[in-house]
Structure 1
Amino acid sequence: MENFAEKTFSGLKNDISTYVETRLELMKLNTYERVAKTMAVFSYGIVLVLLAFFAILFLFLALGFFLGEILNSVALGFLLVVGMYLLLFGLILLFREKISARVTNEIITAMMSKDEKEDEETTDPAGDITGGTETGA
């Protein structure tokens, strides 16, 4: 009888240690996935910012030349463009907290997001699908 109990507890110990190791591996993989998603969002954001920067740069260059022709002074045209840049810079400084909060929220959303499949396949340790009802005798 004691030998049977030892085997049972030994098997239970092995099962628990295997379960804990598997859960730790799953948490590690989930962390890797979230970091990868965050880096993807960050990289995408950098690409968009660079494209927007160059678009705005060339737009303001064209505007500087256009205003220079209208005012018969290229220097005055570019001076007005610099004024617009300073105005844009001031607006960004004015709304820096809102911009920072939005960026932070986007990063948190990217880190906290889960696939829809993952939500559908969530199971409890007993193997029952969560949210289901148990039927018993």
Structure 2
Amino acid sequence: MGKDAEQIFRKLKEDLSAYVELKVELLKLTAYERTGKLVSVLSYGLILLFLAFFAILFIFLALGFFLGDILDNVAGGFAIVALLYMILFAIIIFNKNKISEAIVNEIISVLTAIEDKKKESDNEQTTDTAGETDF
């Protein structure tokens, strides 16, 4: 009887240590997945920001030349464009908290999206097996 209990506890210890190792591995993989998704979203945002920067730059260059033609003074046209840049800069500075909050919210939503998907799939599996009865 003592050997049976000893074997049971040894087996339980092995199963428990295997479970802990698998749980740690799952946590690592989840962290890697979240990090990868975050880097992906940030890279995408950086690419869009880069493209938007050049689009705005060329739009304002064209506007500077257009206003220069209208005013018969290229420097005056670019002075007006510089003023528009300063206004945009001021708007961004005054909305710093809103912009920062939007970025933080986007990062949090990316990091929690994986967890939400996992919970949904777990709930679907639970409801599928909850309806089954053994007779």
TM-score by length of 2: 0.89
Percent identity over the alignment is 49
Deviations 1:40-73 (A, max 9, x none): 0000000000000000000000000000000000
Deviations 1:86-134 (A, max 9, x none): 00000000101000000000011111112776335428xxxxx445379
Bigger fraction of residues in helix: 2
Structure 2 partner of 1:126: none
User: Aligned partners of 1:134 and 1:79: how far apart in 2?
Assistant: 75
Q: Give the AA of the match of 1:95.
A: N
RMSD over equivalenced CA pairs, Å:
2.2
Q: Give the AA of the match of 1:13.
A: K
Structure 1 partner of 2:12: 12
Task: Give SS of 2:122's match.
Answer: coil
Q: Give the AA of the match of 1:36.
A: G
Equivalent residues in 2 for 1:60-99, closer than 5 Å: 60-99=60-99
The alpha-carbon deviation at position 135 of structure 1 amounts to 6.3
User: Aligned partners of 2:121 and 2:22: how far apart in 1?
Assistant: 17
Unaligned runs of 5+ residues in structure 2 are none
TM-score by length of 1: 0.88
Q: Determine if the alignment matches structure 1 residue 107 to structure 2 residue 104.
A: no
The alpha-carbon distance between structure 1 residues 93 and 120, as it changes in their structure 2 partners (threshold 3 A), is closer
Unaligned runs of 5+ residues in structure 1 are 124-128
